[in-house]
Chain A
Amino acid sequence: MTLLRNVIDWLHDRLEWDDLIAPLKKKTVPHHRLSYWYFLGGITLFLFGIQVVTGILLLLYYRPGASEAFESVQYIMTQVQFGWLIRSIHSWSANLMIFTAVAHMFSVLFLKAYRRPRELTWVSGVVLLALVMGFGFSGYLLPWNTLAYFATKVGTEIAGQVPIIGHPIMVFLRGGEEVTGATLTRFFGFHVAVLPGIVVLVILFHLLMVQRQGMSLPPSVEKEWAVNPSSEHETRFFPNFVLRELMAWYVGLGVLGALAAMFPWNLGVKADLFASAPAGIKPEWYFLFMFQTLKLIPSKVWFIDGEVLGIVAFAVAGLLWLLLPFFENDRAARSRRWITGLSVFALAFVITMSVYGYVAK
């Protein structure tokens, strides 16, 4: 222990971190009955960290290319020491990260944390969710198995339906008219270079905004504290909140490890470009609600193509969702009720369509 103390002291003399952590020690965060909802953002960040670490480890063996990708992932899973665990954790963590990001978004929505002056935090958060889904879409193809191949084919085809810009976007994503090895190389580039670069910048901005503005207080707690000031309770950010966050991360790690070990992520069958699509092919669960909705829209609505209408509707809804905080006007109470109603509807719609898409043949 004395040796450790000496090392810490030696480092402290040179790095002098007291100044650096002093603001963190002074910083406090509200502590109330709804505080645990605020851990979701931190857990999402933790899972992103896991993705970076496991992703780098997978890169040591993964080879992008139609003739090698599947075999290299198979090699990782069967020959590389703990390769199966790393790949399984990477896949499970990706799914959990999207889940916690969505849960975080809805918790922010229901706890009204998007309100002025946190509009930009919300906007950056929605952008992050879209980027994370982009990670999911691009990463899904990388093992080059049958399901991934056809999911990418269907996904890019849907993108191609967007009026005017759809076809150029589809060709850009695929690296040609069809999903081929060129698409795989391209998606690999998006997945390991383009998206991480953008995501890191947006995460830094998102975290900076959270640190600058502190944590939002839910209106109901705000009211309680206003009525009864003695119930107001703040806790230190460091170490109290950080240690609680750490606890949440450990729980997250336990869940992730259990899922990865008990249900290792299946590799499937290598993609065959000349085979017909397997019956009942579906996208990943986080795209299922959109997929199912597009399936339910009639092929023609009046004179407009049903699929095009659906895609345009989703694009408009996404844009409105991004700008949601800006719809709060001076009559805040009324607009909040309106936004809460919309959020409940959106959540119910996403869950219903996802479940319907899962059970539908």
Chain B
Amino acid sequence: MSQSKSSGLLLRLLASGVLALTAASLSAQTKNSCLDCHSVLPDKLGVTQETFSHDIHSQKGLTCVSCHGGNAANDDPTQAMSKKAGWKGHIDRRQVPALCGSCHSNPDYMRKFDPTLRTDQLAEYHTSVHGKLLASGDTKVAVCTDCHSVHNLRAPNDPQSTVYPVNIAATCSHCHADAKYMKGYSIPTDQFAKYNTSVHHDALTVRGDLSAPTCTTCHGNHGAVPPGVASVPNVCSTCHVFQAQMYEKSSHKAAFDSAHLPGCVVCHQNHAIVHPTDAKLSAQTGGVCMQCHKPGDKCDQARGQILVKLTQLDVAVKQADQALSAADAAGMDVSEARLGQNEARDSLTKARVAIHSFKPDVIGPYVQAGLNTAGKDLKAGQDAMVERDRRRHGLGFSLIAIGLMVVSLRLYINKIEK
């Protein structure tokens, strides 16, 4: 009896001891004395709990100590930030890629958070212009934190992230559009301004197509370098597959290669890629062919033929559209022909893609198919207007008959009421 009492007491004591230790350890784990001071410190040294709570690292359970070392559980700043506690202090820019890479290049460690995440960013960075210049001692170039930010680092799919597709161009422009900062690198600083005028920028920001190209799509992200002259068509062809296939087989491919011209960019430019119009084929201002070709040569003749064909189809599609709109406005149902117009527009798009073959014969069948469809749609629109007129004539006769009936009734009523 007495033995059982004493063993019960012992158990209770043990249990309370374990609980107390667990509580102390939890408190030590969750305590972050860094923020006690740094949340009220100014500028660069200031990090609030609110800011850090949005950081992906904070959300995954990492703390200040994970990067800066030290002992966040200790309230005494001198001990918390002592060498003995492993405190690293401010991370030098030159050390940033290696520090980030210590986790992000470790597949075993990263797998715990996201098995799909790549772990070759640091290796890629070393091959980039940024990485090479940093290795050569240039500390002005971008390191991880310049693009991804620090203490408020969000996942790339977070719309507020600095590397969310819509924000990437602005992030790159922080340095690349700053002429003063870029002085000495002998590269232009108008890329951002030019990109903002491009069809790619429109697709990304206006149409909200997150797959549309931004800086990193063509230059790479961690391994950012300008694409070489020879690789430009390869870069563009990742999206513009058909154009690239036709260009590869065209006479331009060999000619551009031998002249060391950067393929697509010759006609479309690089950052200011505006929506191409048929005017690019013109021999006048706005045309690009005559930059290299001579008036009247074989290629100029082909250019003329292609332009005539495209203009013909473009005009036919517009005429059919007008006729169908007029019929629509008159309340006539031309939905079937409207659907047909999509086909005609598809043919026009295909014909414009086929320009990259630079052969009138290749473009011809697409143009003809489009002309046939647009012709049918135009007729449908014109027929609808004829039908509308027929209806109106029918209405006119009916109204005359109704009017006569009303007058007759009135006369009859007058007669019987006399």
Do A and B share a complex?
A: yes
Asked whether, in the complex, the Cβ of A254 is within 8 Å of the Cβ of B335, the reply is no
| Contacting residues, chain B, for A266 (C-beta < 8 A) | 331
Residues of chain A from 216 to 241 with CB closer than 8 A to chain B in the complex:
235, 239-240
Which of B332, B392, B402, B410 neighbours the largest number of chain A CB atoms within 10 Å of its CB?
Answer: B402
A253 CB-CB contact with B under 8 Å: yes
B22 at the interface (CB under 8 A from A): no
C-alpha gap A84/B392 in the complex (Å)? 13
CA A235 – CA B413 in complex, angstroms?
11
Assign chain A's interface to a size class. Answer: 20 to 34
**What residues on B are CB-neighbors of A339 within 8 Å?**
none
In this complex, the member of A74, A77, A254 whose beta carbon has the largest number of chain B beta carbons within 10 angstroms is: A254
Interface check B185, CB cutoff 8 A = no
**Are B332 and A261 in contact, with the CB atoms below 8 A?**
no
B405 at the interface (CB under 8 A from A): yes
**Chain A residue nearest in CB terms to B412:** A243
CB within 8 A of B399: which of A235, A258, A263? A258
Tell me which residues across on chain B come within 8 A of A88, comparing CB atoms.
331
Contact at A257–B413, with CB atoms within 8 Å? no
Is there an interface contact between B409 and A250, defined as CB atoms closer than 8 Å?
A: yes
Give the A-B contact count at a CB cut-off of 8 A.
56
Which residue of chain B lies nearest to A260 when distances are taken between CB atoms in the complex?
B395
List residues of chain B with CB within 8 A of the CB of A50. Answer: none
Q: Check if A264 sits within 8 Å of B332, measured CB to CB.
A: yes
A95 CB to nearest B CB, Å: 15
In the complex with contacts A74-B333, A74-B335, A78-B336, A262-B410 CB distance below 8 A: no
- Chain B residues closer than 8 Å to A267, beta-carbon distance: 333, 335
Q: In the complex, which residues 13-62 of chain A have their Cβ closer than 8 Å to any Cβ of chain B? A: none
By beta carbon, the residue of chain A nearest B332 is A264
Structural contact, A77 and B406, CB atoms closer than 8 A: no
Interface centre among A88, A246, A261 (most CB of B within 10 A): A261
Taken together as a complex, chains A and B put the C-alpha atoms of A272 and B135 apart, in Å, by 57
Cα(A230)–Cα(B371), bound, Å: 80
Within 8 A of A (CB), among B383-416: 391-392, 394-395, 398-399, 402-403, 405-406, 409-410, 412-413, 416
B312 to chain A, nearest CB (A): 30
B417 interface residue per 8 A CB criterion: yes
Given pairs A78-B333, A85-B391, 17 additional interface contacts (CB within 8 A): A235-B417, A240-B413, A244-B409, A247-B409, A250-B405, A250-B409, A254-B402, A254-B406, A257-B398, A257-B399, A257-B402, A258-B395, A258-B399, A262-B331, A262-B395, A263-B331, A267-B333
10 A-B residue pairs with CB within 8 Å: A85-B391, A240-B417, A244-B409, A250-B409, A254-B398, A257-B402, A258-B395, A263-B331, A264-B331, A266-B331
* Residues in chain A within 8 A of chain B (CB atoms): 74, 77-78, 84-85, 88, 235, 239-240, 243-244, 246-247, 250-251, 253-254, 257-258, 261-267
